[in-house]
């Protein structure tokens, strides 16, 4: 059988998921595709379509009430476990960071107190360096998929794009440990994104909501974040289950915090469930506060879009460096660490020492890790306001920026320097080979920007500078992440200040609108830079001008209901499609008829079990059904499926036949070839499809001129030729028809 | 033409939307169907499918960038206006209620002070009676659709069920005025539901979110409420626009409240944006508080399901009374009003007067409308705790129940009496012919239940009684409304107590789970009682056993591409379908082929403009396209479409022909007849369909054996015969095929 051995080796190199192949022809994205695409697993793990074949029907009929009950219980138990595990991880994560980073600042501050500045810098820089090195080494060598935020990967996964190894156990472990050391190393990176990824690792579909709940102690916001930002396809049952999971997280976290209040957690803060409490009983603001807040929103939107723009550019440069090898990756991370240490230690020297206020509510100056008035290099009775922000953990810096009754604490120059530092440092830090979130960096940058605006507005406003910092954080989040309801609730849950809600809504509204005029949201940009073919929910205008017939994948690969094994193996080896139409032709049926669609994964399972036969009147293919149970075809975890190359078949087996009927989805979604691409896109997204069969308009013309449309088609703009005026032929046809009719 | 005049009069009586007809055969719901179904407008206003015909394509091509920009601007301007108008209405609503009800209580209390108890009761009872009478008269005579909450109607509308007149201007006016007088009349009815309906009236698709924001000052909760409870079909663009609208509401309301703080709003409270502020900086609760809270959740869930059960039964009884005529409707409302007045005025006499506490933070006893310590009949220095709850507006009662530092204010017996009164009174009050919400009654009942539990737990708990009341309200809301995330945020926004969040989540979780074991959520029960065929999102198990072929509507009504006018008129008059397949048969095409689907509304538009012709070689139907623009076929507002009975045609016109091709949706959604009903349901719900064409598996067999499936089919259980084991014939067929193949 010469056909079955064609160019297997050459193929192996170019095996990419079909949805990625389309991207190859788009200029500038080839290198990114190569990173992801070269070993993307061709198994589809997110096919939401109910796959109705004989096996499925038998399985469903065979299920008793007890089994269904057991199934439901298992699902809820799983949700409970996810919540429990994620909250445990989240708690340990916070505990570790607070203790490691806290210890570092305590030791350094004590040296500063003894005025051994050189030694202090050495300890500070060295510990940062070691921590970064450790994070980057484990990420680069053990689990490269653990680098970065993880939110774009999770979002793409929920859209059906399965990057290699993003949910493996290795990734989980590296993500947790790497995130702890990267955040502790004073790199300006966040912990929320990695926590979301961790949650998603723990439960590849539901965990994402649990992640943000644990990272930020914002349970309802977490559910909404999952809903608004992540899910391509959402069901109300999922909302209810996500709520359950986050409720578990909230309750367990609350219990742990209770435990810590009794002082058993070392340097872990004594803060409650609210991370940055800015509650004040009577915030009064009036119409004259609206103009500065509006301005803050507009500038925040512009800053947000610049942030996104720069981050994407830096990521592209980093990608070029990272591609050169693991050593370059680690070198890049280390140099960013050294640069950060120098900045954090060096910049506070610029600021002049200020005398402690007489009526300060806190100790001044403070020595150690937190507190509003850091001593740094100053003499007793004086404090360094820039050090209070910059020589601190991010959480404490945010707390200082959000604090009320501290309007005279900071100098204009200090806040400005801090803002500029954060803005650029967070952009430079994100792309290094270590787990790194974006939420905290954006909040800290936005808070300093907001505080600066508050200081400039000064006494013209009824709002204190801390509240301006909250609004600034909201505006930069809105300008960068572009979410609305979930950000609103997250900010609410973080700051516990409900009276501010109308202003927060206003700021989010303005900043998102302004930023949307320039570019897309940050996760989408990162996804694009990574080459993930994310399918947007809305149709582009050009899609209205095209019909699905214009973009069907060709040449179409068909199988017959009773197919030769050799043909199947050949087609699987030479194409990258994940689904194949199955047709019955005469003499099996009166005329060619589309029987259904069969998946690559199912074909491979069939080839492994070998229910082959040589056609004979006394032998039918239906026996093969008995060899299988639904479990054989159950959806595998990401990347666990077999590959066609792993299956060895003899020459005799290649010549045998296989009956595909019982394993074929006999009721696939189909559309006529004249449907506009825009309309097909809606069907695709709303029902959560991976394949869509396109059938010809004239039903009596033989079926093989029908086509097959897959996800990549919506992306493959370069493949698309603009259709001629579609009405013309129809006019002709109808004209002829009418004359004939007449 | 005898065929065109068949039984038009008989038909007119039974013209129901096709989706309602299926319900007729379900026992016990006939009477409800008759109420709604008898004059349901056959125009479909919620067909989310993109209707791709020639006209649509021309229209889209013709649109310039300026027009698209204008379109987008108009949409946003509309959202802005909706937000503005709804917040204005909401503010006026609150203002009017507070002033009318407040005035009533002030006058009555002053009479009580002079110990003229009989006179006080007379004034109280008479004013309540007059207000109820007014509300019921305007509702019964002017706009019967304004009765009740309106939320089930809006929910059903968004699902595609168009009850008559629910969004008319008359309904809007009656809803606003009726709600004000009903709430002021001390009937135990809420204002949130009517406000949601008002918002939906103002903008029939988007306004619902604005409604709850204005009623409760819970903007984010409002968006989520719309998302979780109402929308059958949701797009992210809608979320963003709903957020925009609610933000406008929040900001405008905030400005009005600002205005009122300076004392220009009469008796309107001086409260801020938070309605029931229960903030306390340090709530500490520990593991030993969890068991009583769990118990509260479980019992709350049971109470909620009993509440739903009783409410539905009472509604059915009321429907029987209301059907007898308008006089009976008004009599019912008036007797409930008298009963309520007697209870509210009579019950406080049972409670013993208690001495004012020496360290009370408020004036004690209070005379007038609000305050925790009502004097009622007591002597100076004493207060009546039951009167503080019962002889008060609902908002003030909730405030009293939620208040902290008042643990010793109420007696067990008083709270118990209040709870029982609220529980039954709210059930009895809902069904009267006046605008009436359910949110506030459920909150007040739940709060009294929670407070009672708090008092029983007593000193064993770290939580004060006010917080127990909040949790009790949450549990009854969870047990009755069955929402999760949106209720959570609404409670958060109402009470401003974020630290309680884990407990609220726990309570909602438990109460919803418990209540779900017994019956459905309250809005679904009301919808069912009203006979609305709401299409659930999840598939019932029996749907997996059926194929769409088993449930297609028959006999199928087809049109040809070139159809005789008389035939169209006949079919439109004799059927109730809203969509008709259009086929081309030889000699127009090689073989019978499905061209598309055409809507009833579009056919009526065609018949009105009369683009008829007599077939001739030099005359084609395509000219008719020029007579129309897309505006002619634009979606009408609810109930504004023409009816087939209104169109007069001559005998000559009846004999002419019409070319349906340019007006036919040439790319309808189709499924094969072997698809399971469950799978088709998902397509139906996710894409937001009204019609779905079912095509036969064997494509070469003539198309007319294809079917048509509409929404009602998913409901028509009584029509459905369970299919025989579907695999059997297939086995036979394949056996034969294989032998033939061999």
Sequence-ordered strand ranges (E) for A511-561:
559-560
Domain assignment of residue A59, yes or no: no
* Token pair belonging to B377: 């009949």
Please state the pTM of the whole predicted model. 0.77
If asked whether residues B85 and B18 sit together in one domain, one would say no
- Cβ-Cβ contacts under 8 Å, A259 against chain B: none
pLDDT tens across B434-472, in order?
999 888 899 999 999 999 999 998 877 878 888 899 999
Distance CA A111, CA A106 (A): 9
Span of A27-41, A457-471, A707-721, B111-125 with lowest mean pLDDT: A27-41
B701, burial (CB in 10 Å: exposed 0-12, middle 13-18, buried 19+): middle
Structure tokens at A316: 């592209």
Q: Which residue of B has its CA nearest to A289?
A: B255
Q: A152: distance to nearest CA of chain B, Å?
A: 18
- The mean pLDDT of chain A is 74
More confident residue, A138 or B722: A138
Closest partner residue to B50 (CB to CB) among A287, A679, A687 is A679
Instruction: Say yes or no to pLDDT of B83 above 50.
Output: yes
- Report yes or no: B465 and B451 within 8 Å, Cβ to Cβ: yes
Q: Please, where are the H alpha helices in A262-406?
A: 290-323, 326-346, 385-390, 394-402
Among B513, B530, B547, identify where a domain stops. Answer: B530
Q: Which of A613, A738, A739, A741 to mutate to test the interface with B (most CBs of B within 10 A)?
A: A738
Q: Is B244 on the interface with A (CB under 8 A)?
A: yes
Summarize pLDDT for A141-187 with one digit per residue, the tens: 999 888 888 888 877 777 766 677 777 788 888 999 999 999 999 88
Confidence label for A462 from pLDDT (cuts 50, 70 and 90): confident
Query: What CA–CA distance (Å, rounded) separates B368 from B235?
Result: 49
Residue B549 with chain A: CB contacts under 8 Å: none
Among A530, A558, A582, the domain boundary falls at: A530
Kindly give the pairing relationship between strand A691-695 and strand A670-672.
parallel
For residue B33, CA distances in Å to A198, B46, B288, B323 come to 52, 20, 51, 12
Residue A603 lies in a domain: yes
Q: What is the pLDDT of residue B88?
A: 86
Q: How far apart are CA B626 and CA A547, in angstroms?
A: 24
C-alpha to C-alpha distance for B513 and B516, rounded to whole angstroms: 5
With beta carbons under 8 A apart, name residues in chain B contacting A617: 738-739, 742
What per-residue confidence (pLDDT) applies to B680? Answer: 81
Give the CATH number, domain containing residue B475.
1.10.3080.10
> B691 — phi, psi (to 5°)?
-135, 155
| Radius of gyration (C-alpha) of chain B in whole angstroms | 30
Average pLDDT over residues A603-610: 84
On whether residue A52 sits in a domain, the answer given is no
Examine the domain organization and report whether A166 and A85 are in the same domain: yes
| Residues of B in Cβ contact (< 8 Å) with A509 | 243-244, 247
* Residue B554 confidence class, pLDDT cut points 50, 70, 90: low
Q: Which of A486, A513, A530 is the last residue of a domain?
A: A530
Nearest residue of B to residue A505 by CA position?
B247
What is the least distance, in Å, from the CA of A428 to any CA of chain B?
A: 31
- Asked if pLDDT for residue A631 goes beyond 80, the answer is no
The least confident of A145-149, A208-212, A278-282, B113-117 is: A208-212
Identify whether residues A270 and A363 lie together within a single domain.
Answer: yes
Main-chain phi, psi angles of A181, to 5 degrees: -75, -35
Query: Distance (Å, rounded) from C-alpha B598 to C-alpha A705?
Result: 26
Residue in B286, B666, B678 nearest the CB of A258:
B286
Minimum CA–CA partner of A736 in chain B:
B588
Positive or negative, the CA dihedral A278, A284, A289, A290 is: positive
Residues B344 and B453 in one domain: yes
> Are B210 and B80 spatial neighbours (Cβ–Cβ below 8 Å)?
no
Set of chain A residues whose Cβ sits within 8 Å of the Cβ of B502: 219, 247, 250-251, 253-254, 273
CA angle, A166 then A168 then A172, to 5°? 85
How many Å lie between the alpha carbon of B182 and the closest alpha carbon of chain A?
30
Query: Which residue in B224, B502, B687 is closest to A251 by CB distance?
Result: B502
User: Which of B240, B274, B617, B656 has the most A C-beta neighbours within 10 Å, making it the best mutation to test the interface with A?
Assistant: B240
- Specify the pLDDT at position A719: 28
Residue A326 has pLDDT above 80, yes or no: yes
Confidence tier at B166 by pLDDT (50, 70, 90):
confident
Mean pLDDT of B115-137: 92
- Do A117 and A32 share a structural domain? no
- Tell me, yes or no, whether A550 and A414 share the same domain: no
Residue A616: the pLDDT is 63
Q: Do the beta carbons of residue B727 and residue A57 sit within 8 Å?
A: yes
Q: Domain containing A697 — which CATH number?
A: 3.10.580.10
The three-class DSSP label of residue B176 is: helix
pLDDT of residue A555: 63
Instruction: Please say whether the beta carbons of B408 and B286 come within 8 A.
Output: no
Contact criterion met (CB < 8 Å) for B501 and A250: yes
Is B330 within 8 Å of B67 (Cβ atoms)?
no
* pLDDT value, residue B7: 23
Looking at the fold, whether A439 and A492 belong to one and the same domain comes out as yes
CB A277 within 8 A of CB A496: yes
Q: Please give the radius of gyration of chain A, using alpha carbons only, rounded to the nearest integer.
A: 30
Say if A492 is an interface residue toward chain B (CB within 8 Å): yes
- A210 near A82, Cβ under 8 Å? yes
Assess contact for B411 and B461: CB atoms under 8 A. Answer: no
* Interface check A279 vs B, CB under 8 A: yes
CB contact (8 A) between residue A738 and residue B223 = no
Highest mean pLDDT range out of A462-476, A592-606, B76-90?
A462-476
Reported as a single tens digit per residue, the pLDDT across B324-376 is 989 999 999 999 999 999 999 999 888 888 888 877 667 777 766 566 788 88
* Same domain assignment for residues A559 and A695: yes
- Chain A CA closest to residue B674: A667
- Cis previous bond, A261, omega within 30: no
Cβ within 8 Å, pair A50-B255: no
Tell me how close the Cα of A528 comes to any Cα of chain B, in angstroms: 20
Domain match, A629 and A722 both: yes
- Provide the β-strand partners of residue A148: A435
* CA distances to B47, B59, B238, B630, B660 from B51, in Å: 9, 12, 20, 11, 14
Is the minimum CB–CB distance between A360 and chain B shorter than 8 Å? no
Range of the domain at A615: 2-45+539-731
Interface probe, candidates A489, A583, A730, chain B, greatest B C-beta count within 10 A: A489
Query: What do you get for the CA distance between the two ends of chain A, in Å?
Result: 57
Residues of chain A in contact with residue B506, where contact means CB-CB under 8 angstroms, are 247, 251
Q: Locate tokens 């810590």: which residue?
A: A260
Is A736 inside any structural domain? no
Q: Which residue has the higher pLDDT, A718 or B250?
A: B250
Classify residue A62: in a domain, yes or no: no
A566 inside domain: yes
Domain count, chain A: 2
Residue A519 and residue A391 share a domain = yes
Contacts of A258 in chain B (CB under 8 A): 286-287
Which structure tokens are listed for A647?
């299956």
Residues B216 and B271 reside in one and the same domain: yes
**Residue B63 covered by a domain:** no
- Name the range with the highest mean pLDDT among A187-201, B635-649, B708-722: A187-201
Task: Please tell me the distance in Å from A241's CA to the nearest CA on chain B.
Answer: 10
B56, closest residue in chain A (CA to CA) = A544
Whole-number Å distance between alpha carbons of B207 and B212: 9
Judged by average pLDDT, the poorest of A268-282, A339-353, B190-204, B295-309 is A268-282
Query: For residues A143 and A707, what is the distance between their CA atoms, to the nearest angstrom?
Result: 40
More confident residue, B2 or B206: B206
From the list B279, B661, B672, which residue is nearest A734 (CB)? B661
Q: Does B614 touch chain A (CB under 8 A)?
A: no
The DSSP annotation for B623-678 comes to GGGGG--GGGGSPPPTT-S--GGG----HHHHHSEEE-GGGSBSS--EEETTSBHH
Candidates A284, A562, A621, A679: best to mutate against B (most CBs of B within 10 A) is A679
pLDDT of residue A620: 52
Asked whether residue B17 falls in the same domain as residue B118, the answer is no
Shortest distance between the Cα of A289 and any Cα of chain B, in A, equals 12
Interface of B with A in 714-733 (CB under 8 A): 726-727, 730-731
Q: What pLDDT was estimated at residue B219?
A: 56
Let me know if residue B742 belongs to a domain. Answer: no
DSSP string, B447-462: HHHHHHHHHHHGGG-S
Q: Are A644 and A572 in contact (CB under 8 A)?
A: yes
Are B356 and B373 in contact by the 8 Å Cβ rule? The answer is yes
Percent of residues, chain B, with pLDDT higher than 70: 70
pLDDT tens for residues A351-363?
A: 888 888 877 667 7
């Amino acid at each position: 059988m010469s056909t079955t051995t064609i160019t297997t080796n050459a193929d192996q190199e170019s095996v990419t998921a079909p949805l990625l192949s389309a991207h190859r022809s788009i200029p500038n994205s080839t290198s990114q595709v190569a990173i992801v695409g070269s070993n993307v697993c061709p198994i589809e793990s997110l096919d939401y379509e109910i796959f109705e074949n004989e096996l499925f029907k038998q399985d469903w009929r065979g299920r008793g009430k007890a089994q269904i009950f057991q199934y439901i219980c298992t699902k809820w138990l799983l949700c409970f476990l996810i919540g429990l595990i994620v909250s445990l991880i989240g708690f340990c994560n916070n505990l570790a960071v607070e203790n490691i980073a806290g210890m570092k600042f305590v030791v350094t501050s004590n040296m500063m107190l003894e005025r051994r500045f050189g030694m202090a810098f050495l300890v500070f820089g060295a510990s940062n360096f070691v921590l970064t090195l450790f994070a980057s080494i484990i990420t680069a060598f053990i689990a490269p998929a653990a680098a970065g935020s993880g939110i774009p990967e999770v979002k793409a996964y929920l859209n059906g794009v399965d990057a290699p190894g993003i949910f493996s156990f290795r990734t989980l472990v590296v993500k947790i440990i790497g995130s702890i050391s990267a955040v502790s190393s004073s790199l300006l990176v966040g912990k929320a994104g990695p926590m979301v990824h961790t949650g998603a690792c723990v439960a590849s579909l539901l965990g994402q909501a649990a992640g943000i709940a644990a990272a930020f102690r914002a349970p309802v916001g977490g559910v909404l974040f999952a809903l608004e930002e992540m899910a391509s396809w959402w069901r109300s049952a999922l909302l209810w289950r996500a709520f359950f999971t986050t409720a578990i997280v909230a309750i367990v976290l609350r219990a742990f915090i209770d435990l810590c209040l009794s002082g058993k957690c070392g340097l872990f803060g004594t803060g409650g469930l609210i991370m940055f409490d800015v509650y004040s009983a009577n915030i009064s603001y009036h119409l004259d506060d609206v103009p500065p807040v509006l301005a803050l929103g507009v500038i925040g939107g512009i800053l947000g879009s610049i942030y996104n723009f720069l981050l994407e550019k830096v990521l592209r440069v980093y990608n070029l460096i990272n591609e050169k090898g693991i050593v370059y990756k680690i070198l890049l991370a280390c140099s960013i660490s050294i640069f950060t240490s120098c900045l954090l230690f060096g910049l506070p020297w610029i600021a002049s020492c200020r005398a402690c206020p007489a009526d300060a509510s806190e100790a001044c100056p403070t020595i150690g890790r937190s507190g509003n008035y850091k001593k740094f290099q100053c003499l007793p009775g004086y404090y360094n306001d820039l050090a209070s922000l910059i020589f601190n953990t991010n959480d404490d810096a945010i707390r200082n920026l959000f604090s009320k009754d501290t309007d005279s604490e900071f100098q204009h120059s200090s806040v400005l320097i801090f803002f500029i530092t954060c803005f650029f440092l967070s952009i430079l830090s994100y792309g290094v080979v270590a787990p790194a979130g974006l939420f905290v960096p954006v909040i800290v940058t936005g808070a300093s920007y907001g505080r600066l605006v508050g200081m400039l507005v000064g006494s013209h406003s009824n709002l204190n500078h801390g509240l301006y910092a909250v609004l600034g954080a909201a505006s930069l989040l809105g300008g960068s992440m572009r979410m609305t309801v979930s950000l609103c609730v997250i900010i609410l849950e973080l700051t516990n200040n409900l009276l501010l809600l109308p202003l927060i809504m206003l700021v989010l509204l303005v900043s998102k609108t302004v930023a949307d005029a320039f570019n897309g949201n940050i996760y989408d940009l990162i996804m694009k830079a990574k080459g993930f073919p994310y399918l947007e929910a809305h149709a582009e205008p050009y899609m209205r001008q095209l019909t699905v017939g214009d973009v069907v994948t060709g040449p179409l690969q068909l199988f017959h209901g009773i197919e030769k094994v050799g043909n199947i193996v050949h087609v699987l080896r030479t194409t990258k499609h994940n689904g194949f139409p199955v047709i019955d032709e005469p003499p099996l049926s009166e005329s060619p008829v589309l029987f259904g669609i069969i998946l690559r994964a199912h074909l491979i399972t069939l080839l492994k079990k070998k229910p082959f036969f040589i056609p004979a009147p006394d032998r039918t293919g239906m026996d093969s059904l008995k060899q299988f149970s639904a479990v054989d075809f159950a959806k595998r975890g990401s990347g666990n499926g077999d590959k066609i190359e792993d299956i060895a078949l003899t020459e005799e087996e290649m010549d045998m036949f296989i009956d595909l009927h019982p394993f074929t989805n006999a009721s696939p979604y189909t559309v006529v070839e004249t449907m506009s691409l825009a309309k097909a896109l809606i069907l695709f997204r709303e029902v959560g499809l991976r394949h869509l069969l396109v059938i010809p308009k004239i039903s009596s013309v033989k079926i093989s001129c029908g086509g097959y449309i897959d996800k990549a088609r919506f992306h493959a703009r370069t493949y698309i030729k603009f259709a001629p005026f579609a009405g013309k032929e129809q006019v002709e046809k109808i004209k002829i028809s009418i004359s004939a009719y007449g």
